[in-house]
Structure 1
Amino acid sequence: MLFRKDMDPRCAYCRRGQQINEREVACVKRGIVPVEHHCRAFQYDPLKRVPPRPVTLDIGKLKESDFSL
């Protein structure tokens, strides 16, 4: 998920930007821009991207028959 080739570029995880708050990024090239903005100078930095939380297992819906062969 973090290293997908088909991801959409965003200033929130660009190497040239530094996130100020949840809505704005300080970009070296463009100045203060929204997190969803991007430009031609976008360079992906996987360490800045926060992946979505994993889905938790709902044990309440499972039955004994789900575990038998």
Structure 2
Amino acid sequence: MPITLETVPATVVSLTIVTRGVRLVRRVFAVTPEVFADSWWVTIGPTLLFPVWAVGLGWATFAYRERGLPDEAEK
């Protein structure tokens, strides 16, 4: 299977999640700053880690692509 076919979907998902995650974080802190005073932090707290997860997915995708592509010397 071509390496591009494997890494393009992961790149698209990573970019989508990082933009939506940042948007979610901004909305949580702008609209409801008292959210952590209530018990809602249990459900909203983990979703605030979406940008971190997206960066990790992007990094892993990049490393996988670099590992899978042949070097110039091998050609």
TM-score by length of 2: 0.25
Specify which structure has the bigger relative contact order, considering alpha-carbon pairs within 8 angstroms and separated by 6 or more residues. 2
Higher alpha-carbon Rg = 1
Normalised to the residue count of structure 1, the TM-score between the two structures is: 0.26
